[in-house]
Every structure is written in structure tokens, then in C-alpha cells.
Amino acid sequence: MKMSKMFVQTLREFPSDAEVVSHKMLARAGFIKKLTSGVYNYMPLMWRVLKKIENIVREEMDKAGAQELLMPFVQPKELWEESGRWDAYGKELMRLKDRHDRVMCLGPTHEEIITALARDVLKSYKQMPVNLYQIQSKFRDEVRPRYGLLRGREFIMKDAYSFDTSQEGLDKEYENMAHAYTKIFNRCGLPTKMVQSDSGAIGGSVSHEFMVLTDTDAGENDVFYCDECGYAANSNHAVSKLLPAETDGAKYFSKTEIIDTPNTHSIEELAEFLNIPSTLILKTLVYIVDKNPVLALIRADKTVEETKLMNAVGGNEIRIASSAEIAELMAEKGFDAVPGFIGPNGMTGITIVADETVRDMKNFVVGVNQTDKHKVGANLSDIPAIENYVDIRLVEAGDFCPDCGKPLKVTQGIEVGNIFQLGTKYSAPMKAVYLDENGKTKPYIMGCYGIGISRTAAAAVEAHHDEHGIKWPISIAPYHVVIVPVNIKDELQMKVANEMYEKLLSAGVEVVLDDRDERAGVKFKDADLIGFPFRVTVGKTINEGFVEYKIRETGEMLKLAPEEAVKDLIKEILNK
Ligand code: ATP
Ligand code: MG
């Protein structure tokens, strides 16, 4: 490829709407161009990277025994009604009508389509196990499309779905996929950690995410892990053993009474006013889960993990209630307390979820829905009866590992893929069944396995860059080498550059010749920004028989004869 012909536009500045490194660099280096919010053109450089990732995914999926197909992008509402997700999926599902007023949606994922397809084809146990996958654009009307390709509205995904006749079969395929995923990400130059994750409202299911650990601010997930035993989990799923804490307030409160606690709107203010540790306060929080208020009770030194709370009540969307919603709720229940003084008593008809930390509390402090007052020396018998305690607590670094008891650590991660045991979640409601050995009909036991192709490319930039630009791993670089003649008017420089270019091309190396009539500094800047793994500069030293050979990853520079440089590149890149 000649640089002068390449359809690329590098920018002098980072785009102003880009917050994270990968978005900034991919936009500035001319890999992506935004069309509208969360929707990007993949420019030729980007498309080469994406195709390389796709090919690695394809090779490993095929090796693992999966078969590729391609399903439609536009999907009919009826199938989503069968699975029960038409209402449940929420606003991320982009809904539309055709000219006959038939309601459709843009595929955000394909469980419904594949399950309907399988039920037409997989009639007998003899046809299983089978694993089917596709690589395709998805559309999700994300609440906050941001971070460029990391969280787009339109993005490319590999999604695979397995069909088995037994849980053992599914377990085996799940293992098989976990193994394939590890190989895929390693080949992309992106080591990942496989972590336990939230599997939604269906209890008992197993799921794992593949996280690229990162110290940049692009990691949207907190990952808790134990160096000692290998435990690793997303914060929405992580559990821990608690550190010892003071949970009996007997020494502070000799009797149960309601007292004045003026202006104690926060836990800190209340603890300071009463001169007690916050572990003696029962915190009551109001959330809205799928439009309904839910009260969460937790020991006040701890934080509620929203996904855990949402799963505990079986919802799809959760957020903390606004002050206006709390005021409305108070009015409805006949109280006029402001936030800071809310408590569970008198909140009839509302779901109340109590965290495990509440179980051991004695002689504690709790809100009684009266502004500027709290009940002190309270016990569990003073609040509405709690039927069962659930873990809705956010784990913190330093908490003890649930498996081995050593302190947990925390880091940020970008989820590039996940694997999920679905069981009969789709096959049962959609009546997707087969005949077993005894002629009985049974629903398929399913698994699903996703990889964000475009997100993986962006995660690679997060993991591999410096202040000058991207440092693509060779396996997914758009091109391997750029040859930069310093002065295109110098005959010898151009002759050597052209010869090297031709030799590398014919050996199968992906090479760009920067034949633009630009200053060397501009070309070097672009080379670093775009992130070619190798740069060969043909400048004045060619008069002494040398070119300059630079390795982007390490910054190492060598002076080599042109033939040596060519030989070395072929060896490094093609392992020949
Ligand atoms: P997230 O929690 O990040 O929203 P998800 O749980 O919705 O991800 P899946 O529905 O399982 O993700 O999709 C499979 C893969 O697709 C994810 O692991 C991720 O790599 C990718 N992906 C999901 N949403 C997006 C998006 N908005 N932009 C780019 N890639 C995405
Ligand atoms: Mg999502």
C-alpha cells in the first residue's frame, strides 16, 4: 500500500468528545469516523484490524468444533414475545415497523432467532451436540454510548450458541469455549482474566467474563481477585468474608427510644452526632426497580451492589430513587421524612431486601420516617420481620477471599467476551424441543458465548499504546511495516525504499510505503500514531549502506543493511 493512496485522515488533535485513550487514538489516527452517536465508520485501517480479529476468532471457533452461519439483523417481534423478552429488554432494543405495520427490532443479540432456527432443524438427540456461531453487527440503543468502540450502539460481535441434551454436555462445551476464548485473546496479544460474573435473574446459572485488566479509565468493571487461590469475580457477582466489626450498640444505648438527631442527613453526620461507629447504623435506601420502589437495608459502613439487589427482586432495570420520588413515596405512606431519616417501619406494600450484614446487628440506630429523628438501641424485632437475608453488598478491596480467606485485591477490567450457561431459559418458553432416546420431548440445554470484536480492537489500544500513539500487537496490526523514505526526491533513497517494499510484499509482509511529499517528522509522527509494529527509515545513512529499523513496541532502533532489514522483518513477522 502506498501511503499517498491510502484512504485515511489523521487529525492534528484528539476529537473533543473522546474521553478514553482508545477512542482518542483510533479517531485521531484515522481508524474510525463517527457517523452519529455510538455509530462509526470503520475506515480501511480499522477494517483490516477487525478482519484480523475476526479471522483469529473464526479459526479458533472452527477448531473448537463450532460451525459458522449468519442470521438476519432485523428480527420479528413475535419471537421476542415467545421468549418473554419483548417487554423485558427495555429501551436498548431498537424497535421499528415495516410498511405493513409489522413490528420488528434490530438484533442486539440472537438467542430468539437461533432457538427458533434450532427447533425447526434439531429434532432428535442424535443431532446434538452442536455449536453455531456468527460474526455480525449488533445494534443496542445504549443509554450512554461512549468510549468510541468500547461502548457503541452499533458494534460487531461474535455470538455462538450451543445445544446439548444434558447438563454434562453443556459443562463440557462451556469448558471447550473457555479454552478457545483464552487462546483467541492470547493470539490477539491481549491476555485476559476469566472472572465469575452476574448471570441475571435466573438463579443457579453459571457465567464468566473475559476481562482485559487495565489501569486506564476505560475499565467499566471492577474485578476482585485473590492472588493466593485464583478467585476472580466481577463486582456485580463478587462475594467476600467480612472483617470483624462492632455490631452491638449495647454500650452506647441502654434503652430503645426515638431521639432527636437534628440535621444528620448523611451516615457520617449521624455517626458523628451520636459518637458511634457507622457499623451500628442500619441504612435504608430507596431504589426503583422496573418502576417499583424497593427498600434496601444494609449495615451503614457498606455499600449496596445494584445488580445484586436487582437480581434479588428479579428485575431488569435499577436505579436509586430521586428526592422527588422519595418525597412522593413518603407522602403515599403518610410520612414527611426527608432522605437521611427513612426507615423500614410503616412501609407496607413495598419490597424490602435486607443484606446479610443486617443479620448480626443489635442495639442499632435506624430511621423512623420522621425528619431529624432516629430510633436508637433498636433490634431486629423493632423493624418489620425479615424473611430472608441476601447478599446485596459491594465487596471492597481488603475484604477476605470467600474461598481461601486472604485479602482480595481490586483492578479495573474491560469485558471483551463472556460465556454463559443458559440451560432452558429460551428453549423452554419457546418450546424448542427434541426427541430423546426414549421418544420423549425435551427442551435443549443451551449455552451462549459472545466476543465483542470491535470492543476487542479498542481494548487492544487501551492495553498497547504510549503518548505517541498505538502499538498494535503484530497479530492484529493493520499493516506490519511502514517504510519511510526521508526525501522522496532523493533517487537512491526512493530506489532502496521501493526495492524493500517490493521484496517484503512478495514475501507476504503487509507493508506501507510512505511516499508522501511530507517532512520526515510528519511521517514519523503518523507512523507512531497509526502504530505500525515496525518502521524502516531510508535516509541519508543509505549512502553508507544502512537503513534505520525501529521496533514500535520497545522503541529499539537498529542500523541495518537493507537486505538484512528485509530478512529480519520476514523472520519476525512471518516466522520464516
Ligand atoms: P456490557 O456489560 O459491557 O454491556 P453485555 O453483558 O451487554 O456487555 P453481551 O450481551 O454478553 O454483553 O455481549 C457480548 C459481548 O459483546 C460483550 O462481552 C462485549 O465484548 C460486546 N459488547 C456488548 N455491548 C457492547 C457495546 N455496546 N459496544 C461494543 N461491544 C459491546
Ligand atoms: Mg450491555
- Going by alpha carbons, the residue nearest to atom 9 of ligand 1 is 450
**Separation of CA 457 and ligand 2 centre (Å):** 17
- Going by alpha carbons, the residue nearest to atom 2 of ligand 1 is 415
Look at residues 435, 420, 426 and name the one whose alpha carbon lies nearest to residue 127: 435
Does ligand 1 lie within 6 Å of residue 237's CB atom? no
* Contact by Cβ (8 Å): 153, 108: no
pLDDT at position 571: 95
In CATH terms, the fold of domain 257-390 is YbaK protein (3.90.960)
* Contact by Cβ (8 Å): 410, 223: yes
pLDDT at position 317: 86
For residue 452, which atom of ligand 1 is closest to its CA? 20
Q: Which CATH superfamily is domain 479-574 in?
A: Anticodon-binding domain (3.40.50.800)
User: Which 3 state secondary structure label does DSSP give 239?
Assistant: coil
| CA pair distance 479, 49, nearest whole angstrom | 9
**Separation of CA 530 and ligand 1 centre (Å):** 26
Look at residues 245, 240, 222, 197 and name the one whose alpha carbon lies nearest to residue 401: 240
| CA pair distance 175, 332, nearest whole angstrom | 52
Mutate to test the pocket of ligand 1, among 40, 138, 142, 317 (most ligand atoms within 8 A of CB): 138
Taking only the tens of pLDDT, the chain with its 576 residues reads 999 999 999 998 999 999 999 999 999 999 999 999 999 999 999 999 999 999 999 999 999 999 999 999 999 999 999 999 998 888 899 999 999 999 999 999 999 999 999 999 999 999 999 999 999 999 999 988 889 999 999 999 999 999 999 999 999 999 999 999 999 999 999 999 999 998 764 444 799 999 999 877 888 899 999 999 999 999 999 999 988 999 999 999 999 999 999 999 999 999 999 999 999 999 999 999 989 999 999 999 999 999 999 999 988 889 999 999 999 999 999 998 999 999 999 999 999 999 999 999 999 999 999 999 999 999 999 999 898 899 999 999 999 999 999 999 999 999 999 999 999 999 999 999 999 999 999 999 999 999 999 999 999 999 999 999 999 999 999 999 999 999 999 999 999 999 999 999 999 999 999 999 999 999 999 999 999 999 999 999 999 999 999 999 999 999 999 999 999 999 999 986
pLDDT at position 203: 45
* Contact by Cβ (8 Å): 205, 175: no
233 pairs with which residues across the strands? 196, 224
**Separation of CA 358 and ligand 1 centre (Å):** 34
CB atoms inside a 10 Å sphere around CB 268: 11
For residue 142, which atom of ligand 1 is closest to its CA? 27
| CA pair distance 12, 32, nearest whole angstrom | 15
DSSP 551: E
Does ligand 1 lie within 6 Å of residue 23's CB atom? no
Number of the ligand closest to the Cα of 151: 1
Q: If you search the block for the grid coordinates 492495553, which residue do you land on? A: 463
Does ligand 1 lie within 6 Å of residue 422's CB atom? no
| CA pair distance 371, 234, nearest whole angstrom | 37
Q: CA-CA distances (angstroms) from residue 555 to 10, 215, 500, 552?
A: 22, 22, 21, 5
**Separation of CA 143 and ligand 2 centre (Å):** 10
Contacts for 446 with CB less than 8 Å, ≥ 6 apart: 111, 115, 161, 162, 163, 164, 170, 422, 423, 424, 425, 426, 427
**Separation of CA 430 and ligand 1 centre (Å):** 24
Quick one: residue 75, left, alpha or beta (phi over 0 = left, psi -120 to 50 = alpha)?
Answer: beta
pLDDT at position 202: 45
Does ligand 1 lie within 6 Å of residue 415's CB atom? yes
**Which cell goes with 525?**
509522527
- Going by alpha carbons, the residue nearest to atom 4 of ligand 1 is 151
**Which cell goes with 438?**
426414549
- Going by alpha carbons, the residue nearest to atom 23 of ligand 1 is 452
Return the CATH architecture of domain 17-190+423-462: 2-Layer Sandwich (3.30)
Number of the ligand closest to the Cα of 135: 1
- Per-domain boundaries in the chain: 17-190+423-462, 257-390, 479-574
pLDDT at position 200: 62
Does ligand 1 lie within 6 Å of residue 107's CB atom? no
* Contact by Cβ (8 Å): 509, 570: yes
Q: Any idea of the CA torsion for 465, 471, 475, 476, to the nearest 10 degrees?
A: 70
**Separation of CA 153 and ligand 1 centre (Å):** 10
* Contact by Cβ (8 Å): 195, 389: no
pTM over 0.85: yes
CB atoms inside a 10 Å sphere around CB 523: 21
For residue 450, which atom of ligand 1 is closest to its CA? 14
Contacts for 227 with CB less than 8 Å, ≥ 6 apart: 406, 409
Mutate to test the pocket of ligand 1, among 42, 412, 415, 453 (most ligand atoms within 8 A of CB): 415
Q: E strands along 187-238, which residues? A: 193-196, 207-214, 221-225, 232-234
Exposure of 130 in the CB half-sphere (CA atoms within 13 A): 19
**Separation of CA 121 and ligand 1 centre (Å):** 29
- Going by alpha carbons, the residue nearest to atom 1 of ligand 1 is 415
Of the chain, the end-to-end C-alpha distance in Å amounts to 22
- Going by alpha carbons, the residue nearest to atom 16 of ligand 1 is 452
User: Which 3 state secondary structure label does DSSP give 478?
Assistant: coil
**Separation of CA 254 and ligand 1 centre (Å):** 53
Query: What is the number of helices (H) and of strands (E) in the chain?
Result: 13, 31
pLDDT at position 58: 98
**Separation of CA 199 and ligand 2 centre (Å):** 12
Number of the ligand closest to the Cα of 452: 1
In one-letter notation, the amino acid at residue 143 is V
- Going by alpha carbons, the residue nearest to atom 3 of ligand 1 is 415
* Contact by Cβ (8 Å): 535, 482: yes
**Separation of CA 452 and ligand 1 centre (Å):** 6
- Going by alpha carbons, the residue nearest to atom 10 of ligand 1 is 109
DSSP-derived pairing of the beta strands 281-289 and 364-367: parallel
CB atoms inside a 10 Å sphere around CB 440: 10
For residue 109, which atom of ligand 1 is closest to its CA? 10
DSSP-derived pairing of the beta strands 292-299 and 281-289: antiparallel
Q: If you search the block for the grid coordinates 511529499, which residue do you land on? A: 517
| CA pair distance 113, 455, nearest whole angstrom | 23
Number of the ligand closest to the Cα of 136: 1
